[in-house]
A and B are shown apart, each in its own frame.
Chain A
Amino acid sequence: MSGKNRIPIFPTRMALTTMKSKLKGAVTGHSLLKKKSDALTIRFRAILSKILQNKQLMGATMREASFSLAAAKYAAGEIAHTVYENTTTATMRCRLANENVAGVHLPTFERNERIKDEGASNPQELTGLAKGGQQINKSREQYVKAIESLIELASLQTAFITLDEVIRTTNRRVNAIEYVVKPRIENTISYIIAELDEGDREEFYRLKKVQGKKKRDLAAKEAEKAQKKELEGVLNPGSSRHQPAQQRTILEEGEEDNLVLFS
């Protein structure tokens, strides 16, 4: 027997129904979880290929951006220090948003530029006014592109990690249901059924036995009656009358006594 890994429960019919419904629940849960896992895995693979593409793109973009910086330095001289000292707050920001995929909350990053709205113009836009301004602007655009691709990559990578985690847990649950919960319930059900069957058999056997005894008793009585009749037939051969004269009544005994008294 297989280790008997089953739920300890008293084997009654109600227990059987409960277990059956539990099994049904487990089966439904299993198929739902499997679907979820499959959907997430598809999304996961898609993200993986996008990450690959994106990383290559980002490599190229960053390379161009550094090169454009070199060109800007060539044309405008050493602008780095003035630019550093002139910065006050960030002009380019990143906002965290939430995306829902098959019940999983994935964080995504979005670029959030707040320049034009509050009338806060970029104080750095005049850098290189007299020399190299165009190269500086080009460099700025390249770096903005680089940042955008970095933000996208960051979203993809967080999604990747979160999805990975979730897929792992879901798969664990699927496997748990498939290899632990269902077998246990099935074992329990088969145990209960076995117990019930055994009880049924015992009942049946008992009934049969009782029946047999009854039959035997009946048979025995018949036999006794038949025997008695035979005996009667031997003692009173003439009497063909079937008088059950065995037992005289007191009245008849009284009559015999009367004969003795009155003679």
Chain B
Amino acid sequence: MFGTRGHGGIFTFNRNDGYFEALVRGYRAGILTQADYANLIQCDALEDMKLHLAQTDYGDFLANEPSPLHTTTIAEKCLERLVNEFVHIRNQAVEPLATFLDYITYGYMIDNVVLLITGTLHDRDVTELIEKCHPLGFFKSMATLSAVHSVAELYNTVLIDTPLAPYIQNCLLEEELDEMNIEVIRNTLYKAYLEDFYNYCKELGGETEMIMSDILQFEADRRAINITINSFGTELTKDDRELLYPNFGVLYPEGTSKLAKTDDIDQVKEILNAYVAYRDIISDTSAEKSLEDAFFEYEVKLNKMAFQTQFGYGVFYSYIKLREQEIRNIVWIAECISQQMKSKVNQFIPIF
């Protein structure tokens, strides 16, 4: 794969990537602030939200929508805007930034591929599924999907051409695709992806490695914890569960081997008490704030830190993640307003 040499440091980074870093920092300045959220919370209808959003960096992105506005429309349009910004950068980027940005998209590509496999398994029309795919995860061989009618064909003609091919080849055999639970497939692929991304960041070195390793380690640990907790009482065996834990992170290898043996959530909490950061996260949860919320908050914190240094690629990754959190926040507020549940509206995570 490309980009085995690290990117430039203080002296040479700006030559290739300075423009893009500046661009991203400009975008970052447009992320909604507490004041914006305060305005949004006070809206009584989605039309008011549209008005308030028009005064932020979002501008008239909802201008052409027909009158009864739906939360799904808002979500789509926000995502579209994010995708446009990303594609703008990606189209102009050179190596190794280009590969880094591609890595960011592989996560979404995995979701899309899983959706396609599911659709093919159940004999649905695969071309319809293309509309439901995440736009950041499009890959070139999507155009050939109409010729695919079985999982074997999907595997051989489409999946092999994607950048995900190495992950698929290493972890999954063609026959297994039919039998394995789709979520297990998804998580196996994601584990391979995370490990690969982590190694790539290590190769890049410099500020990128510093920032991204923290973020990716947290992601790996978070997935391990979530998989453990969510697999209690399901048909996922402990061995299978252990296979899904990524092989890096603060919890690896002791924490993960302990987690693989647990049976309930109290044991999990005990294990996590040994790790300071996670102990704090768990003690932060309450009836109002679930574990997921605490994880989101910690993730936002880590991502914000990426902008404190320069000459690293972490800003690109963090910008995408922060924007996603913002979209989640906006959609949450919109749902609370439209479902008349304003008492719960404050459960989003403010970013800046």
Contacts and interface: CB of A to CB of B under 8 A. Distances in A.
Contact of B181 (A74, A126, A130): A126
Contacts of A74: 328, 331-332
A82 B182 contact: yes
Nearest to B108: A77
A134 B292 contact: yes
A129 B227 contact: yes
Contacts of B344: 67
A88 interface: yes
Contacts, number: 89
A133 B124 contact: no
Interface in A74-120: 74-75, 78, 81-82, 85-86, 88
Interface in B116-137: 118-119, 122, 124, 129, 132, 134
A66 interface: yes
B73 interface: no
B187 interface: yes
Interface in A160-200: none
B292 A75 contact: yes
Interface stretch (B197-205, B229-237, B269-277): B229-237
Given A126-B184, A130-B223, A67 B339 contact: yes
B230 A88 contact: no
Contacts of B111: 82
B129 A134 contact: no
Nearest to B241: A129
A61 interface: no
Contacts of B336: 70
B318 to A, nearest CB: 18
A212 interface: no
Nearest to A72: B292
Interface residues of A, number: 27
Contact of B226 (A70, A131, A137): A131
B335 A135 contact: no
Contacts of B182: 82, 86, 123
B118 A85 contact: yes
Nearest to B230: A133
Interface in A128-154: 128-135, 137
A233 to B, nearest CB: 133
Q: Which 7 A-B pairs have the closest CB atoms?
A: A133-B230, A126-B183, A70-B335, A81-B132, A85-B118, A75-B292, A130-B223
Interface of A: 63, 66-67, 70, 73-75, 78, 81-82, 85-86, 88, 121, 123, 125-135, 137
Given A123-B181, A126-B181, 5 more contacts: A70-B331, A70-B332, A81-B132, A128-B183, A131-B226
Interface of B: 71, 111, 114-115, 118-119, 122, 124, 129, 132, 134, 181-184, 186-187, 190, 223, 226-227, 229-231, 234-236, 244, 290-293, 328, 331-332, 335-336, 339, 341, 344
